Structures are given as structure tokens and as C-alpha cells.
Amino acid sequence: MAESVLPVAAKSATRFAETIAKETETPVEVVRLIYDEEFNALAAEARITQYVGVIASRRVKLRLQKH
């Protein structure tokens, strides 16, 4: 099921990463790696994939706040 959402996610992942990087003052490359990890973990198990990117973004922010 993850393959069906990956093309859509690739289009917005860079925007999500740039926004989160600015908000958290973290390098975009680091944010993108974390985002990709979270997105792939969620997409692998998701039945409804419409909000995977949004949930992944939230999880990235939470992970960065802990550090």
C-alpha cells in the first residue's frame, strides 16, 4: 500500500521538510531524513493514506522537540 502514496508524498515532502526546518531551526537534510523515516513507517501500515504526510510531519516535530 505504501507505493500508492509515495509519488504524492514526494511532491509535498520537501515543502514539509522546509517548513519544519524553519520552525525548529534544524537543517533541512536532517528534517527530510526523519520525515522519510516517519512517513515510510506510517505508510507501511496505513489503511487510509490520505493523512500520512500530515501525521508524519507531526511526528517529526515531536521527535525534534525531544532533542
How far is it, in rounded angstroms, from Cα 48 to Cα 31?
24
Is the pTM for the entire model greater than 0.85? no
Q: For residue 67, what pLDDT is reported?
A: 64
Q: For residue 13, what pLDDT is reported?
A: 86
Percent composition of the chain: helix, strand, coil (DSSP 3-state, to 5) = 85, 0, 15
Q: For residue 30, what pLDDT is reported?
A: 96
CA 27 to chain centre: 14
**13-64 confidence digits (pLDDT tens):** 888 999 999 999 999 999 999 999 999 999 999 999 899 999 999 999 999 9
